[in-house]
Amino acid sequence: MEFVVEDLLRISAKQMATDDSMSDDVFEDDTLRAPAHTAQRSTPSPTGYRDYRPPVTTPARMQDDDDVIIHKTILLGDSGVGKTSLLVQFETGKFQAGNFSATVGIGFTVMLLGDSGVGKTCMLVRFRDGTFLAGNYISTVGIDFRNKVVTVDGIKVKLQIWDTAGQERFRSVTHAYYRDAHALLLLYDVTNKISFDNIRAWLGEIREYAQDDVVIMLLGNKSDSGLERAVRREEGQRLAREYQVAFMETSAKTGLNVEAAFAHVARSLVAKANPVDPSRLAVRAQPTQEQRSSCPPCS
C-alpha cells in the first residue's frame, strides 16, 4: 500500500491527538470498568486520589469556533534521506527535484508579533515569496511558520519565521514560543494609532517571556498608506530609542524595507554568534518616496 507525504503526517497528527485523549490506566479505579455484579473491593490509585488525571501541558489547546490543536513534528535522519523534500512535499504539494544543497547548518528563529491586522502575515509572504497577499484572508490561528535561507556576509543563514496570531485569546499560546525565539519583529500599523499604543504592552510581554538577549526590531508597517497615516515616523523612532531597539518603516504591499528588516535581524544574529565590528550592524533602510524626491541628484 502506498502512502503520500500528507497521509503520513496526518497519521502522525492523528496518533498524537489520540495519545493526548487517552487516559492512563494506572490512574483509573477498577470499579469504573467492571460490571456492577462483578465489582469487588476497589484497588486504590497509586496517587491516592480516585479521579486523578495527569495535567496536560502539551499540546496547546485553544477554544474558538473549532477546537484547534497545535503540535510540533520534528524530522530526523541522516543527511540525504529526504527530510527537506518531505517537508516541501507536505507544504507545497510539489517534489523538490534536482540537485540542491544540504540544509544550512546555522539557523535562527524569528517571531512576528503585533496586534491583529497590522500585516504580519503579509510581511512574511512578501519576504518569503516576494508577493503581496491582497484581498480578504483568514486571520492567523495560533502559530504558523515559513523557512527562508538568506546570505549574510557570505554566510548562509536559515531563518525559521513564526507568524503569530495577534488576538488576545491566542496570547497564552504565543507566550510559550517566546523563549525559543532568537529575534522578534514587533509590528504596528501606521494607520492604526491603537496598534501603536499597544506596542508598550507587547514590549512588556517580551521582557517577561523572551530571552534577555533576544534581538528586537520595531517595524511601522503600511507606510505606503499616505493620507491615512495616523502615526508619524518620528513617533516610532522616539519609541524605539526609548526601548533601545532598531526601527524601520515598512510596506508589505510595495516591499519597502521588508528585505532590509530581515537582513538587519540576520546580521545581528550572526554577529551575536560570531562577534564582529558593531558598525556592520547599522540599520540600512531603503529611502521612502518622499526621501528620494528630496535627495540631490547623484553624481
Quickly count: other Cβ atoms within 10 Å of residue 46's Cβ.
9
Residue ranges, CATH 3.40.50.300, the chain: 104-285
φ and ψ at residue 233, rounded to 5 degrees? -55, -40
Residues 263 and 279: their CA atoms lie apart, in Å, by: 15
Q: Which CATH number, 3.40.50.300, 3.40.350.10, 3.40.50.720, 3.40.1190.20, labels domain 104-285? A: 3.40.50.300
Q: Calculate ∠ Cα 149-188-183, nearest 5°.
A: 35
Residues 70 and 62: their CA atoms lie apart, in Å, by: 9
Question: Are the C-beta atoms of 157 and 107 separated by less than 8 Å?
Answer: yes
Q: Calculate ∠ Cα 164-67-22, nearest 5°.
A: 115
pLDDT (tens digit, 9 = 90+) per residue, 155-173?
899 999 999 885 665 667 7
98: left (phi over 0), alpha (psi -120 to 50) or beta: left
Per-residue pLDDT of the chain (299 residues; tens, 9 = 90+): 444 555 555 555 555 555 544 444 433 344 444 444 444 444 444 444 455 454 444 444 444 444 444 455 777 777 677 766 676 666 666 665 554 444 455 899 999 999 989 999 999 999 999 999 876 555 655 578 899 999 988 889 999 999 988 566 566 777 888 999 999 999 999 999 999 999 999 999 999 999 999 999 999 999 999 999 999 999 999 999 999 999 999 999 999 999 999 999 999 999 998 865 555 555 666 666 555 544 444 43
* DSSP helix/strand/coil, 148: strand
The number of helices, as runs of H, and strands, as runs of E, in the chain is: 9, 8
Q: What is the pTM of this model?
A: 0.61
